[in-house]
Structure 1
Amino acid sequence: MDIAKCLSVIGSLCAGELPLEDGGSQAGAAGAGYRTVELETSHETREDLARTRERTAEDFQACRDAIAERLDHRWGRRALWGQLTVRVRLSRGEEIPEPWATLALLTDELDLWQEPETGRWVALGVAHRDEADETRLLATVTETPPP
């Protein structure tokens, strides 16, 4: 994984326009005030053994940590955002705004910053909760504060 390329994509997300309404994009999911991109996707783990999938998730976590370390230097120390509470709130019928509801279903935890120049929230996480889906390293930029 190319850390510099991932940082460039995150920088572009922070500086770019965010959609005014819901709708997907070729680069990932997008909706009113947010955009999520896949920085890395594993195409071999969909039907692979659990051990291979676990190893891929660990590799993606290591990449996430490397990106987060650089973003810490840029924006200050990240907050670790566990997703269990958000999933419980969703299961009880509470309305959680996007992109946070979807991220809670895909990831166990997020690294989270508020980008100082734009005030946008930047989330970085590994989506590996669904064993029928590929493992993905996700970056999200949103104007909506975390719930």
Structure 2
Amino acid sequence: MTTARHLATIDRLRTLPFPARPGRTDAGSGGAGHHLAELATSEDFWEDDGTRREAAEEQYEAERDALAVVLTARWGEPQMFSLWSLFERGARGEELPEPWGTLSQSVPDVHLWRVEERWIALGVSQWDGELPFQLLAVITEVDPP
């Protein structure tokens, strides 16, 4: 996908109501108070010696950063928000509000903007070393915990 398509997805989701119940959507998933868009997904790395994984990680971080440049021109400098403490809190059994609980399990940090009454977050996800990378965008009315 291109940056233009990523922007179109983000813009579309900013105008849509949030789903009443958690579930899959045409862009990824959503639930009460949030949309989580899977903007791009890499291949998996089951048979990789590490070189393809490294290259994919660099590519997805570069795509996130390029998209962040465009969003920064629109909305100003983002907050850089680490999700590490949320991950730790969730691992200790604390229930975290969605989408933050799900994000903290696979995204180390996000670029975060507050636009009108919603948060927009960009991050790169990888659930496990062999699984694909994903460029994610989150649109939510739920404040970060």
What is aligned with 2:67? 67
What residue identity is the alignment partner of 1:5?
R
What is the Cα deviation at residue 55 of structure 1? 1.1
Q: Number of residues paired by the alignment?
A: 145
What is aligned with 2:27? 27
What is aligned with 1:126? 124
Q: Is the partner of 2:85 in helix, strand or coil?
A: helix
1:70-122 C-alpha deviation (Å, 9 max, x unpaired):
11111111011111111111122211101101100011111111112xx1111
Q: Which runs of 5 or more structure 1 residues have no equivalent in the other structure? A: none
Q: Is the partner of 2:39 in helix, strand or coil?
A: strand
Greater strand proportion: 2
What is the Cα deviation at residue 25 of structure 1? 2.1
2: distance between equivalents of 1:24 and 1:145? 22
What is the Cα deviation at residue 11 of structure 1? 0.8
1:33-75 C-alpha deviation (Å, 9 max, x unpaired):
1111111111253442322111101111011001111111111
What is the Cα deviation at residue 32 of structure 1? 1.0
What residue identity is the alignment partner of 2:30?
A
Q: Is the partner of 2:24 in helix, strand or coil?
A: coil
Whether contact under 8 Å (1:57, 1:128) holds in the other structure is no
Whether contact under 8 Å (2:44, 2:130) holds in the other structure is no
What is aligned with 1:78? 78
Percent sequence identity over matched residues?
A: 39
Misfit runs of 4+, over 3 Å: 44-47
2: distance between equivalents of 1:12 and 1:25? 13
Q: Which runs of 5 or more structure 2 residues have no equivalent in the other structure? A: none
What is aligned with 2:135? 137
Q: Is the partner of 2:90 in helix, strand or coil?
A: helix
What is aligned with 2:15? 15
2: distance between equivalents of 1:89 and 1:108? 14
Kindly report the root-mean-square deviation, in angstroms, between the aligned alpha carbons of the 2 structures.
1.4
Whether contact under 8 Å (2:125, 2:136) holds in the other structure is yes
1: distance between equivalents of 2:108 and 2:47? 21
TM-score (norm 1): 0.92
